[in-house]
Amino acid sequence: MKCRALNMSGLNVQSIVIPGLALILISQTDLSTAHAHEGHVHEPVKVADEEAHRPSAIPDRIILTWSGDPATTQSVTWRTDDSVARGLAEIAVAEDGPNFVSKSKSVIAETTSFKSNLGMAHYHSLTFSNLQPKTMYVYRVGDGVNWSEWSHFTTASHEPQPFSFVYFGDAQNNVKSLWSRVVREAYSDAPKAAFMLHAGDLINQANNDAEWGEWFYAGGWINRSIPSIATPGNHEYSRRRGEGSLLPKNMLTAHWRPTFAFPENGPEGLEESVYWIDYQGARIISLNSNERQKEQIPWLEQVLTENPQPWTIITFHHPIYSAKAGRDNPEQRALWQPIFDKYRVDLVLQGHDHTYARTGQMAYNNVPEGAANRSPKAGTVYVVSVSGPKMYDLGRRPFMKRVAEDTQLYQIVTVDGAKLRYEARIATGRLYDAFTLNKRIGQTNELIEQVPDAPERRRNAKAASLR
Ligand SMILES: [Fe+2]
């Protein structure tokens, strides 16, 4: 490639004179040059991770999250190289023209020095506070000289109001190459989504900086305007010593806390992986299914007891009802599901099994094995989904209302008063699964199945016929 480029630049003097002929000249000369250097054409060389993901003084990996109330606060985190000692942001109420710039206020960030397997970086994090609810703001981040572009975000209402969010199962592998299209299709379907929820395994190797770089590449500027909520998967935990770092195994990735600013309202030691956020009538809870599951129960009971929101949605990584044979989690089910039942949790969003499986209403010890038509009329709806390219085979169980194999999906969930509408969409945008939950005062939810009339996506017809 280098030889060809060298020769092309050598003939540019000639080719500029007659623009119409330029392409032909280049083409002919280039071909003859390639021929003359036959045997000397260099093979393409992969750009090293250190170079491809090297930070600079210009902010990158910018992401909105919440560490406080979405109606009055907004957190933002970004990365620079370690030459940037002080990060700051500017913020104003968004206006129709550019005059907001002169009205903007500065906020100083907290800066963390971070050594990844690729080198040093600085992560900067701050929370805009005392914001007005239901208001569009415009902000940028930088060091006072090198700035990001101005981006919008909109604060939530304090009251229950209709909103949608996007839920992704595991992205995990080939994230830049094969997950980017899913995020972008989801954005094109739900550009006004209140947030994007990631149910763990955002990346494959917990402390691999290049993979985190790919995750940010895929989300791109969408992460700058739509906040993210994420729960850690097993791949956010280092599996062996020395995997991209010197950290001990079975520890949450060192990237997690510098990268995201999630609430610290969880049990001690599980801050930012176990937390809750209230958004316009829904309480969103992240549990950590990787460690100390039992210790999370008293905290969860308290959070559910004090929950003033009509809707409760919980996310964690390892599913209560596994979608793959041999991966069932009976201990986790015994620990957590009775609590979900007691407090009538509406919806649980999970990952881990790299297939799609959505249940009807499920309650603990009321699993209608082998009796699809005897599903209970009360309980929580459980979803396992996958958004990235890694695919497992499915272990179908009778209570699964809709399943898929070898399919990348994203979900759009809309909460509107007493209705919750759920849609699972294939990476190409087609509707694949849907239901509505109707909240009834003093009663259990009514589940209305709205599965579209499209064939079940299975690896082979025989598997599909065994449903
Ligand atoms: Fe996974």
Q: Please tell me the predicted confidence (pLDDT) of residue 238.
A: 84
Superfamily of domain 163-465: Metallo-dependent phosphatases (3.60.21.10)
> From start to end of 173-225, where are the E strands?
195-198
Instruction: Delimit the domains of the chain by residue range.
Output: 2-36, 55-154, 163-465
DSSP-assigned states of every residue in 315-363 = E-SS-SS-SSTT---HHHHHHHHHHHHHTT--EEEE-SSSSEEEEEEE-
Q: Output the CA 340–ligand 1 centroid distance in Å.
A: 24
Q: 13 is written with which tokens?
A: 């003097």
Neighbouring C-beta atoms of residue 450, cutoff 10 Å: 13
CA distance 112 to 106: 19
Whole-number Å distance, alpha carbon 382 to ligand 1 midpoint, is: 17
Model pLDDT, residue 9: 37
Distance 199 CA to ligand 1 centre (A): 10
Q: How many CB atoms lie within 10 A of CB 431?
A: 15
Cα(354) to centroid(ligand 1), Å: 6
Rounded distance from Cα 148 to ligand 1 centre (Å) = 32
Diameter of the chain by CA atoms? 83
Short-list 253, 427, 447, 460, CA closest to 360: 447
Report how far ligand 1's centroid is from the alpha carbon of 464 (Å): 24
| 8 A C-beta contact, residue 397 and residue 360 | no
Domain 55-154 is of which CATH architecture? Answer: Sandwich (2.60)
**Cα–Cα dist 127/371, whole Å:** 50
Q: What was the pLDDT predicted at 142?
A: 98
- 351 C-alpha vs ligand 1 centroid, how far in Å? 7
Q: What is the pLDDT of residue 249?
A: 55
Centroid of ligand 1 to alpha carbon of 353 (angstroms): 6
pLDDT at 139 (0 to 100): 98
Token pair belonging to 18: 């007659």
DSSP string, 384-434: E-B-SS--------TTEEEEESS--EEEEEEEETTEEEEEEEETTS-EEEE
For the residues of 443-459, what is the DSSP string, one character each?
SPPEEEE---S---B-S
Q: Find tokens 């595991």 and name the residue.
A: 170
In the reported structure, the alpha carbon of residue 110 is separated from the centroid of ligand 1 by a whole-number distance in angstroms of 32
How far is Cα 226 from Cα 440, in angstroms, rounded to an integer?
A: 31
> How far apart are the CA of 156 and the centre of ligand 1, in A?
31
Closest CA to 335 of 318, 352, 351: 318
- Half-sphere CA count of 151, side-chain side, radius 13 A: 21
CA of 143 to the centre of ligand 1 (A): 36
Q: How many whole angstroms from 406 Cα to the centroid of ligand 1?
A: 14
pLDDT at 463: 60
Residue 26: the pLDDT is 44
Question: pLDDT tens digits for the chain (467 residues)?
Answer: 333 333 333 333 333 334 444 444 444 444 445 455 556 788 999 999 999 999 999 999 999 999 999 999 999 999 999 999 999 999 999 999 999 999 999 999 999 999 999 999 999 999 999 999 999 999 999 999 999 999 999 999 999 999 999 999 999 999 999 999 999 999 999 999 999 999 999 999 999 999 999 999 999 999 999 999 999 999 999 875 544 444 455 899 999 999 999 999 999 999 999 999 999 999 999 999 999 999 999 999 999 999 999 999 999 999 999 988 788 888 999 999 999 999 999 999 999 999 999 999 999 976 654 444 445 668 999 999 999 999 999 999 999 999 999 999 999 999 999 999 999 999 999 999 999 999 998 889 999 999 999 999 999 866 655 54
